[in-house]
Amino acid sequence: MPLLAIESSCDETAVAIYDNSRSNDKNGLLASLISSQIEIHKDLGGVVPELASRNHTLRIQPLVREALQKAEIQLSDLEAFAATGGPGLASSLAVGHSFAKGLALAADKPFLSVNHMEGHLLSPFIGEEDIPPHLSLVVSGGHTLLIHTKKPGDYSLLGETVDDAAGEAFDKIARMLELPYPGGPEIEKLAKDGNPEAFTFPRSLLQEEHFNFSFSGLKTAVLYTLQRLAQPRDHLADLCASFQAAVFEVLITKAIRAAKMHQLDRITLSGGVSCNATLRNQLSAACQAEGLAFRASPPQYSTDNAAMIAYAAQQRLLAGETSSLTTDIDPNLKLVTV
């Protein structure tokens, strides 16, 4: 059942073709392509929505053609079409969503509007038929979520950020430190040579019984520390390592606690921040110490990509679900409604 999916929620134009009947053949992915806009936006310090949507419009049709060539199939061979419906930038979402709906209409095939966060959440299992119950820690630029995943489409929200998401905090701290865009990888790189105990930064809500997160106080603490230092740039490595340690301690402690409280024997890690090797290694070690299984999304499927959207769409399709062609995007789409 080959399916084509488009991801255009922010500044990456991505197209993937997935066939669940070939799940043991390169994870079922016949093609997974990404056109990055980092070079376009990096001198501007962040994503400019109008510029992002314009480049999605320029890249999407050539990328679909390239994906079909790579998969060695025709457009008429596809059984369904999918696209990210939200959350994300409205002008960017609209490009991919409309294009996929147009393809579905022209081919008279099903269309699926996919939640971007569900794509991240399921990405550790791309290519697999069975997704067991587990605790999902999703850490991206705009979201920090702890989810009890019972099965695809059946999720319970256990905790989320009450202010800045972890990835958002990384970006803001990077700007404070005048690091290049995107800031997350730059902080990780510098932190490798730093002392994570050089500065004592707050671990907000760490001792609270609930599983929500807060990183705005940490951001403020870093700002005040910078103002006290005579030469902040002489302390970049230590600042990055100490900041990163504070974020990761909270994420890992709450994830382990939530899994044990809900009697789940495995934890998954996904989202853009999950590319951070230190976070992966520390959470893996913590799970091993507690007798829990651990699985992280492969790095190539951790940042925004269409492979995860295709896989999530395939799970919906196998459950007999489709979306109406009148379905609209929702920039604030929630994965779980409380």
Q: What is the count of structural domains for the chain? A: 2
- How far, rounded to the nearest angstrom, does the alpha carbon of residue 247 sit from its chain's CA centroid? 17
Q: Does the pLDDT at position 24 exceed 70?
A: no
Question: What is the model's pLDDT at position 294?
Answer: 98
Q: Is residue 326 part of a domain?
A: no
Q: Does the pLDDT at position 338 exceed 60?
A: no
Average pLDDT over residues 95-116: 98
Q: Is residue 250 part of a domain?
A: yes
3-state secondary structure at position 65: helix
66/172 same-domain check:
no
Question: What is the model's pLDDT at position 170?
Answer: 96
Q: Does the pLDDT at position 23 exceed 70?
A: no
pLDDT tens column, 28-49: 999 999 998 877 777 777 788 8
Question: What is the model's pLDDT at position 116?
Answer: 98
22/149 same-domain check:
no
Question: What is the model's pLDDT at position 182?
Answer: 86
What does the alpha-carbon distance between residue 83 and residue 264 come to, in Å, rounded to a whole number? 31
DSSP string, 85-98: EESS-HHHHHHHHH
3-state secondary structure at position 37: coil
User: Are the C-beta atoms of residues 100 and 5 closer than 8 Å to each other?
Assistant: yes
Question: What is the model's pLDDT at position 22?
Answer: 74
95/234 same-domain check:
no
41/172 same-domain check:
no
96/212 same-domain check:
no
pLDDT tens column, 143-192: 999 999 999 999 999 999 999 999 999 999 999 999 988 889 999 999 99
155/35 same-domain check:
no
What does the alpha-carbon distance between residue 147 and residue 338 come to, in Å, rounded to a whole number? 12
Amino acid type, 188: E
313/232 same-domain check:
no
267/151 same-domain check:
yes
Residue 15 sits in a domain whose CATH number is 3.30.420.40
53/149 same-domain check:
no
Average pLDDT over residues 133-151: 96
Query: Residue 288 belongs to what domain range?
Result: 134-296
pTM for the model: 0.95
- Residue length of the chain: 338
**pLDDT averaged over every residue in the chain:** 94
Average pLDDT over residues 304-332: 97
269/307 same-domain check:
no
Beta strands at 2-7 and 80-86: parallel, antiparallel or unpaired: parallel
Question: What is the model's pLDDT at position 40?
Answer: 77
